[in-house]
Every structure is written in structure tokens, then in C-alpha cells.
Amino acid sequence: MKVYVLNGPNLGRLGIRQPEVYGATSYAGLVTSCQTTGKELGLDVEVRQTDAEAELIGWLHQAADEEAGVVLNPAAWSHYSYAVRDACAMLRGPLVEVHISNIHAREEFRHHSVVSAVATGVICGLGVDGYRLALLHLAALRDRSTGG
């Protein structure tokens, strides 16, 4: 199963940006963790990060065309990007929205995600472990659908 782990703005700064909120794991560490977990689960995982909204939308279109699973941390775009939300709505594979911090315990403007309504599930507040849990969920969905 092909799975794209897609990350929005500022996530390339993990480990540097507000470690008290986002933890000490670097972006490179997150990539390695996702790839290792994917390999253990028999998933073909590709991890990407962008600060350009149009690029993320293009990746979501690619995932839709491939019927791939997606783990998405839309970051700030969660709260206002209807373009990202609409691209997510086109996905034909499962979508797990992930947030490193608990968006509901932060500033009011972060409490709502426009993406959540079209996601298969949402994980927030579990740090980078949320990515591992999202990949475990996608592997379980695959196994249920294939009888494996």
C-alpha cells in the first residue's frame, strides 16, 4: 500500500521551532521514524514537507489519482485552507489528519480544522507518535480489506 505522509508549513523546522510545543524530534528524525514504521508494516511510505500550499495540493491530487493512503499534517492550513480541504475531499484512499500538539488546548483560532470533516480519522496531541499511530491504522485498514 502506497502512503504519502504530507506535512505543511513550518514542519521542516521541527526540533527548532517551539520545542516546548512540538517536541525535540527533528524533521529528519520524523522522516526516519515514518519510513522505519512503514517498512515494518509493509507500507510504501513517502514523506514530504512543503511551505507552499499549491505544492501540497498537487501532492494530494497525486495521492487521489493513485488511490494512496495519506497521513496529513496540514499545520496552519488546517484552520483556513478550503483549497487543501477540497483536495483532501478528492482522495479515494484513507486520510488520517495528524497534529503534533493538541490543537484544542491551544489558541482559539487553532481549535477548528476545515480538513477534519473529510478525514477518515484525526490524531492530535500525541507528539510525533501520532504519525506512527496513523501508519498503524492505515496498515490495519489494508489488512482488513485484503483479509490479511
Reply yes or no on whether 99 is catalytic: yes
pLDDT 10s digits, 70-87: 999 999 999 999 999 999
Percent of the chain with pLDDT over 90: 81
16 is in an annotated binding site: no
C-alpha 69/C-alpha 4 separation (Å) is: 6
Tell me what pLDDT residue 148 has: 64
101 is in an annotated binding site: yes
State mean pLDDT over 77-100. Answer: 96
Residue 43: exposure state from Cβ atoms within 10 A (0-12, 13-18, ≥19): buried
Q: Which domain holds residue 133?
A: 2-146
From 4, 22, 27, 131, the catalytic residue = 22
From 4, 27, 99, 131, the catalytic residue = 99
Q: Supply φ then ψ for residue 121, to 5 degrees.
A: -160, 165
79 is in an annotated binding site: yes
C-alpha cell at 79: 484552520
61 is in an annotated binding site: no
pLDDT 10s digits, 1-17: 999 999 999 999 988 88
pLDDT 10s digits, 33-60: 999 999 999 999 999 999 999 999 999 9
Q: How many domains does the chain have?
A: 1
Q: Domain holding 133: CATH number?
A: 3.40.50.9100
